[in-house]
Structure 1
Amino acid sequence: MHGRWTRVVRTPLGLTATVLVVAVLALACFGPLLWGDGADAVNTDGILAQPSADHWAGTDNLGRDILLRVLVASRLSIALALLAIVISVAAGLVLGSAPFVLGRRSGRLMSAAVNIAVAFPGLLLALFFAVVFGAGATGAVLAIGLAGAPAFARLTQTLVAGVAARDYVAAARTLGIGRFRVLLRHVLPNVAEPLVVNATIGAGNALLAFAGLSFIGLGVQAPAYDWGRLLNEGTGALYVNAAAALVPGAAVLLAGLAFNLFGESVAKGLGVSVGAGVRALPRLRAGVPRETEPAGDEPRMNSYQAVLEVRDLEVAFPGPSGPVRPVRGVSFQVGRGEAVGIVGESGSGKSLTALAITRLLGDHARVDASRLELLGDDLLAPDTAVQRRMLGTSLAMVFQDPMTAFNPTRRIGGQLAEVATHHQGLNRRAAIARAVDRLTAVRIPDADSRVRQYPHEFSGGMRQRAMIGMGLMGTPALIVADEPTTALDVTVQQQVLDLLAAIRAADDVALLLISHDVTVVGEVCDRVLVMYAGRIVEDLPAAGLTTAARHPYTRALVAAVPDMTTDPAEPLATIPGRPVAPADVPAGCAYAGRCPLADARCRAEDPPLTGDAATPSHHRVACWHAGEPLPADRRPDELVESP
């Protein structure tokens, strides 16, 4: 952090701006002490004197030295401007953070109020508040402070919304930490730098605005004086002594320029930029069957004891023409010690299914299911401390990007220890010791010193292992890993997968692995769920993924992965067309537009997910032409998406 701020003064502009700001602040601190007596000295023999060696900027109508008065007025001018910007930032933080703290409905009202206020020009608001609070320094400070608040509120809303979408904020909410505490500990520390930068620039603007109010008589009143008041007095004698107006005007200009240039330099040095709900979730429409299980609609777990049971899971988001369902009637189970993989193209609903299970979807999402249980506990039940403790200790989530899952402003050890202190009642020392032990368990070397480091000091693979270690702070029965090897090189990918396999084998932990990589899922998992357009279209043993797949989509996914037998002279296999958009799912089978076996029935009726006499009881497929050979006379590049 120190190095980043050092970069600000390494450029010519940054160094110049820093020197100017330091000089202005020093003048404000020491100006009245050095020249206060001289500035107030009345000399009736030298009234309205021209600039001379004794009085560089001349004198006013009482014979007082104008330059000394400008130097002394720096304290009041800058102090009041800084006080106004503090009010702007404080009010902006309150208004901008309100939607996060208050929740969706109240937050919308607050956002609407901020949007209306931002639509008014800042000068108009300042004049309005100045009239409301009355003329004087206090009224002017409040007027400028409140007039600048909407801009900071809009900035805070944008920054808070960006951080609130991070995984570590969702995890903190799941732990049961209150919104206000999450705001203070996880959100505001991560938006501090942009606010500081914009506040620095805003100080220059507040200085100009305050001088303007004093100039028109709404600011500082006699006998006190600031630069704006001196400028007003100087304009009365502009044709007699131009320096009387130019000197205070130059002071306002230089001080405002110093703050603005310093803010811009800080922004460049730090790399900082300046400047709908679902009321009800209707059931699936007619013609879209729910997934059914064999053997009397009861899922078969073979030798596995059920850890997670999902039945008829639906996820909906608000849309312009009604709820959009990216997950539609998903049903499956995961047993103790079992590894289940979920594969499919982007947008198939894999990650949303995992987030719904882990209760990490935001308030704008609606989750519904006839059964959603972890270790027999209903995950759709009202939020309680017992349920939060169960989620925090029995369920571990490994996110796709650990850099967004960890809070960048807090040390790794403190973030891991929070789980133990919050759910297991350990004190700080014991929780840190537990964190060291868990980091050692996930094969992070020198864990004693690593716990004191920040996430950016870890490599990508180490951050992912630390994320797994956070999940192991409790005693998880289920690990949900959402694309845990994304953006890692193949060696580190294998290390992460080996670590998950070792944890699973050592503690009989169930694993739900989400991935685009069919090969990885086939090697790591016992069973594979293939998703398309929010539904499971095939559920089959991983050992039969390349040989026993019966759905055309599953076979196309497997064929699209090259292997050692792939002819390099031939073009790679692809799946024609594009995935179906969740907001525009067609009638019938969603894959029909890309399927070479599709017929009229496929486009009219959506097949249920069932087993039949030709397949084992644990192999289910949703297709009217399951297992039929693909037509040999049609190449993949000849298949086009149906209108």
Structure 2
Amino acid sequence: MSARTAWTGIVRSPLGITALSLVLLVTLAAIFAPIIWGAQAEQVNPTEITQGPSAAHLLGTDTLGRDVLARVLVATRLSVVLAVIAVIIGVVAGTLLGTAPSVLPRWIGRPIVGFVNIAVAFPGLLLALFFAVIFGVGSTGAVLAIGFAMAPQFARLTQTLSAAIAGRDFIDAARVAGVSRFRILIRHILPNIGEPLIVNATVSAGSALLAFAGLSFLGLGVQVPEYDWGRLLGEGLNRIYLNPASALGPAVAVVIAGLAFNLLGETAAAALGGRSGRRRHRLPALALPSAPRHAQVAGDDVVLLVDDLRVSFPTPSGWVTPVRGVSFTVSRGEAIGVVGESGSGKSLTALAAARLIERPGHVAAAQLDFCGTPLLTTSDRAVRSLLGTSLAMVFQDPMTSFNPTRRIGSQLAEAASEHQDITRKQAMDRAIERLQSVRVPAAARRARQYPHEFSGGMRQRAMIAMGLMNHPRLIIADEPTTALDVTVQRQVLQLLAGVRRDTDAAILLISHDIAVVAQTCDRVLVMYAGRIVEDLPAATLHTSARHPYTRALLDVVPELDADRDAPLKMIPGRPPAPGAFPAGCAFAARCPLATDVCRESDPELVTDTGGHRVACWNPVSGEATVPVAIATAAEEEETVLR
């Protein structure tokens, strides 16, 4: 649903029309009442002191003979203006507090989060009274008191909304491009949480009106000679037995204005609803394997070196390590495919290489070097500059890879302007050039469009173009063809191959489709249960695969001449959960070649003379027929039901 459609829905709903009418009425009174009734509200008439309602004075007069109705109408401007200013202060202060932890260092951000959590626990009116004592009596003090009293709730809202946006792929893409935290906050996070903040600010305007009326009623707000609804209400209550209407008038005005803002905010929230404190843990004991590791030796052409990579996350029952001891290298111009079932650790390995694993996740490795730079010990500023210029990522879902609130061209240009000393026009020209290089038609016009105006294939092309805005030495493609049809899949894979050929960039292709990897890559890494179980050349994948799991993945790929009436084949059983890895080989429960040693001890990744690595106690030769148990879909379903 577009913003225009959503706001049109507000106007068309009966509740929305009522809310807008009330808001319009209050706005007109705030603008024109002082002009029309200002003189009458200030006119003192000693002969008409404290009179009741009459044709001349519908709500009677006060102790100086001034018309109460005129004063109520004139007070609209000051009451509404002060409430709006207080809301603005609350939104700004709350947004700063809510976003500070994502920009400031962790040792500063954590106390801010704790302060917000404590402040939210106190009632807003109690905080307002507390701040009113600090800032002093008067309009200024009341505005600051109510504004800062509202800040904690907006800070909590901003934290929650920011956390939801921070996990999106386009945020990761901006981080990989080397965009600073502050620019990510300003350009990518805040525009995507603006609507909920505006809606809540509208609702809070009604609460601010009530709070102001309360402070003025208690004598802490507006002071003589100024007056607002709260002050008029206090004066009216002093003579309520003589003229009840003098108290009823400002009370009705507060209710109408508060109701108008609350109804408008609630209606907007309903219309837009269709669109839109962690505990400390000890780090896990990452024990090194007892057998010698097969560490990768860095060379001049090595782009990415990963040795004994482990990624862990805390859970209520302890630390879980879904990636455990992964080692491989990626050389210049090399294409490596990573395959395996869901949950095997493919994407986590890539995210760790791109420094995208956030706390409380923990990354450890004997070596994790990119272009000769150790990623785990180098400062964040240096790593951001390196990854922003030399690493590109193509994510699985092209729709979530772009910020929906910004045009495609500006997002591409940002990747270049962040690291190159060029003007905005030069960055935009480069973005158009890169869109043309990935064969996006009418690139200049397309650069001015938003992501939702692109098809899935075009968005993926634009994502590749974003990675080419600088000069990447490694392109990590995480399931880049999953959401695309077969024809577009082939085009995207051909495009990646062309980029590799033209720029000599290395490619790390993550996929579930072992056939695609075999056709497009030089080497294949087969992962299972957080480990690499086989590493072999793609050209000999079908003839030299030695691990039963690799053979099973190949056997379940349907052939073009297969019987269409026969059920599809599948590997029986399920991969183990990350927190429940068995003591021995993780594939033993599903492998027909498993022996007792397979169930007792986890095999090491052994390298043969040809560079082929395999982790299996019972590897098979390339010529032998592997009796891998393959179940049909019907058999698997029957097993699950049992």
Q: CA deviation at 1:390?
A: 3.7
* Counterpart amino acid of residue 247 in structure 1: G
Question: In the alignment, what sits opposite 2:117?
Answer: 115
Q: CA deviation at 1:484?
A: 0.8
Question: In the alignment, what sits opposite 2:400?
Answer: 404
Secondary structure (helix, strand or coil) at the match of 2:399 reads helix
Q: CA deviation at 1:323?
A: 3.8
Pick one of 99, 120, 139 that aligns with 1:97.
99
Question: In the alignment, what sits opposite 1:36?
Answer: 38
Q: How far apart, CA to CA, are the structure 1 residues paired with 2:102 and 2:569?
A: 46
Question: In the alignment, what sits opposite 2:220?
Answer: 218
Q: CA deviation at 1:121?
A: 2.0
* Counterpart amino acid of residue 625 in structure 1: N
| 1:64 is the counterpart of 2:61 | no
* Counterpart amino acid of residue 615 in structure 2: A
Could you report, residue by residue, the CA deviation over 1:461-498 in whole angstroms, capped at 9, with x for unpaired residues? 11110110111122222211011113222222222112
| 1:284 is the counterpart of 2:287 | yes
Unaligned runs of 5+ in 1: none
* Counterpart amino acid of residue 630 in structure 1: P
Secondary structure (helix, strand or coil) at the match of 2:418 reads helix
Pick one of 595, 605, 618 that aligns with 1:625.
618
Question: In the alignment, what sits opposite 1:186?
Answer: 188
Residues 429-578 of structure 1 correspond to what in structure 2 (within 5 A)?
Answer: 429-578=425-574
Secondary structure (helix, strand or coil) at the match of 2:196 reads helix
Q: 1:367 to 1:631 in 2, by over 3 A?
A: closer
Q: 1:116 to 1:452 in 2, by over 3 A?
A: same
* Counterpart amino acid of residue 98 in structure 1: A
Could you report, residue by residue, the CA deviation over 1:421-475 in whole angstroms, capped at 9, with x for unpaired residues? 3323223232222211110010101111222222222222111101101111222
| 1:265 is the counterpart of 2:267 | yes
Q: How far apart, CA to CA, are the structure 2 residues paired with 1:443 and 1:579?
A: 40
Q: CA deviation at 1:272?
A: 7.0
Q: How far apart, CA to CA, are the structure 2 residues paired with 1:201 and 1:261?
A: 8
Q: How far apart, CA to CA, are the structure 2 residues paired with 1:216 and 1:420?
A: 58
Secondary structure (helix, strand or coil) at the match of 2:606 reads coil
Mapped contact 2:175–2:388 kept (Cα < 8 A): no
| 1:416 is the counterpart of 2:412 | yes
Question: In the alignment, what sits opposite 1:326?
Answer: 322
- Give the length in aligned residue pairs: 630
Secondary structure (helix, strand or coil) at the match of 1:423 reads coil
Mapped contact 1:529–1:536 kept (Cα < 8 A): yes
Q: How far apart, CA to CA, are the structure 2 residues paired with 1:290 and 1:450?
A: 54
The percentage of aligned residue pairs carrying the same residue is: 60
Mapped contact 2:416–2:427 kept (Cα < 8 A): yes
Q: CA deviation at 1:638?
A: 10
Secondary structure (helix, strand or coil) at the match of 1:191 reads helix
Secondary structure (helix, strand or coil) at the match of 1:485 reads coil
Q: How far apart, CA to CA, are the structure 1 residues paired with 2:437 and 2:19?
A: 50
Could you report, residue by residue, the CA deviation over 1:517-564 in whole angstroms, capped at 9, with x for unpaired residues? 223222222221111121111112334444543323223333343333
Mapped contact 1:576–1:594 kept (Cα < 8 A): yes
Q: How far apart, CA to CA, are the structure 2 residues paired with 1:176 and 1:482?
A: 19
Mapped contact 2:340–2:346 kept (Cα < 8 A): yes
Q: CA deviation at 1:566?
A: 4.0
Question: In the alignment, what sits opposite 2:202?
Answer: 200
Farther-moved stretch of structure 1 (490-499 vs 214-223): 214-223
Q: How far apart, CA to CA, are the structure 1 residues paired with 2:264 and 2:629?
A: 69
Q: CA deviation at 1:251?
A: 0.9
Question: In the alignment, what sits opposite 1:3?
Answer: 4
Secondary structure (helix, strand or coil) at the match of 2:337 reads strand
| 1:371 is the counterpart of 2:367 | yes
* Counterpart amino acid of residue 283 in structure 1: L
Question: In the alignment, what sits opposite 2:354?
Answer: 358
Q: How far apart, CA to CA, are the structure 2 residues paired with 1:334 and 1:411?
A: 34
Q: 1:254 to 1:356 in 2, by over 3 A?
A: same
Pick one of 576, 582, 604 that aligns with 1:586.
582
Mapped contact 1:194–1:272 kept (Cα < 8 A): no
Mapped contact 1:193–1:272 kept (Cα < 8 A): no
Q: CA deviation at 1:291?
A: 5.5
Q: 1:606 to 1:290 in 2, by over 3 A?
A: farther
Q: 1:240 to 1:350 in 2, by over 3 A?
A: same
| 1:85 is the counterpart of 2:84 | no
Mapped contact 2:396–2:482 kept (Cα < 8 A): yes
Q: 1:20 to 1:364 in 2, by over 3 A?
A: same
Q: How far apart, CA to CA, are the structure 1 residues paired with 2:638 and 2:59?
A: 85
Runs of 4+ in 1 over 6 A off after TM superposition: 631-636, 638-641
Question: In the alignment, what sits opposite 1:601?
Answer: 597
* Counterpart amino acid of residue 13 in structure 1: L
Q: How far apart, CA to CA, are the structure 2 residues paired with 1:159 and 1:129?
A: 27
Farther-moved stretch of structure 1 (11-20 vs 88-97): 11-20
Q: How far apart, CA to CA, are the structure 1 residues paired with 2:605 and 2:616?
A: 8
Q: CA deviation at 1:637?
A: 4.0
Q: 1:151 to 1:638 in 2, by over 3 A?
A: closer
Mapped contact 2:572–2:629 kept (Cα < 8 A): no
Q: 1:458 to 1:215 in 2, by over 3 A?
A: same
* RMSD over aligned Cα atoms: 3.0
Q: CA deviation at 1:226?
A: 1.2
Relative to the length of structure 1, the TM-score reads 0.90
Q: How far apart, CA to CA, are the structure 1 residues paired with 2:64 and 2:566?
A: 95
Pick one of 21, 25, 44 that aligns with 1:23.
25
Q: How far apart, CA to CA, are the structure 2 residues paired with 1:385 and 1:128?
A: 42
Relative to the length of structure 2, the TM-score reads 0.90
Q: How far apart, CA to CA, are the structure 2 residues paired with 1:632 and 1:435?
A: 51
Secondary structure (helix, strand or coil) at the match of 1:34 reads helix
Q: 1:634 to 1:248 in 2, by over 3 A?
A: closer
Q: CA deviation at 1:2?
A: 6.6
Farther-moved stretch of structure 1 (418-427 vs 74-83): 418-427
Could you report, residue by residue, the CA deviation over 1:571-597 in whole angstroms, capped at 9, with x for unpaired residues? 433333333232333322222333333
Question: In the alignment, what sits opposite 1:426?
Answer: 422
Mapped contact 1:89–1:152 kept (Cα < 8 A): yes
Q: CA deviation at 1:59?
A: 1.8
Question: In the alignment, what sits opposite 2:237?
Answer: 235
Q: How far apart, CA to CA, are the structure 1 residues paired with 2:213 and 2:82?
A: 10
Question: In the alignment, what sits opposite 2:159?
Answer: 157
Q: 1:391 to 1:129 in 2, by over 3 A?
A: closer
Unaligned runs of 5+ in 2: none
Q: How far apart, CA to CA, are the structure 2 residues paired with 1:493 and 1:12?
A: 48
Q: How far apart, CA to CA, are the structure 2 residues paired with 1:456 and 1:639?
A: 42
